[in-house]
Amino acid sequence: MDSPTPVVLITGAAHRLGAHTARHLHQRGWNLVIHYRSREAEANRLCVELNGIRQESAVIVQADLASPEQTESLANKAVSVWGRLDGLVNNASAFYPNPTVEASADDWATIMNTNLRAPFFLGQGCLPALKESRGAIVNMIDIYSQRPLADHPLYCASKAGLASLTMSWAKDLAPEVRVNGVSPGAILWPEGDAAIDGAYQQSILARTPLARTGAPEDIAGAVAFLLCDAPFVTGQILAVDGGRSLNI
């Protein structure tokens, strides 16, 4: 009897690292629940692309992870699509500068809800299905969870909390569910309001032993390793940063 096709929910999967991870896992035979917040056109294009490769293998689900109610709904919808869930990748993230003297309660709510609250309650909502499948969770951390980035106190605190949650969950959810994290370094430079100038980019690369940016596939491969190929690994945070965390 053939094994059922594994199913993964990836948050923030419409673009950048989330989309690369979705394509990589799809290539490895997973069905995809592609979460997006506002990038409906990109999510639709990705879904059409993947379903063109393998029919009825991907769906899209919209939710604003800053909203507790929509986060709960996302968990329910993700499990209901194929009646199972084998993996949860908490990839979506809010990232922008907010110096302490300027940070507002809205900044706190947006960043903490998206980066920390949503992963927790998504994990809670998906837990029965993940336990049944003996599945795994991968949280997207950041090297700044350990060595904070100036003028990003809320972002750094949220990622430090997510790193701690990863290790706590690895103890609490064992033995049925494995929980690990991936901590990217310089892979894709930030966009929009969070963009950094070329001189600062070069200063980052100067502190990176491999002296270059990584590729999105480096992150996608690390997530796939932790989901698919590491049955005896839990509670670990894998730095995929060219060695930058040695020299930050």
Q: Is 155 a catalytic residue?
A: yes
Give Cα separations from 213 to 23, 41, 95, 243 (angstroms): 21, 28, 19, 11
Cis before 231? omega within 30: no
Give Cα separations from 123 to 129, 170, 197 (angstroms): 10, 12, 36
First to last CA, the chain: 51
Beta bridge partners of 8: 32, 87
In the chain, the amino acid numbered 115 is N
Of 36, 96, 144, 155, catalytic: 155
Residues 173 and 127: beta-carbon distance below 8 Å: yes
Give Cα separations from 131 to 22, 57, 75, 87, 134 (angstroms): 22, 22, 14, 10, 5
The pair of three-digit structure tokens given for residue 138, joined into one six-digit string: 């991968």
Active-site positions?
Answer: 155
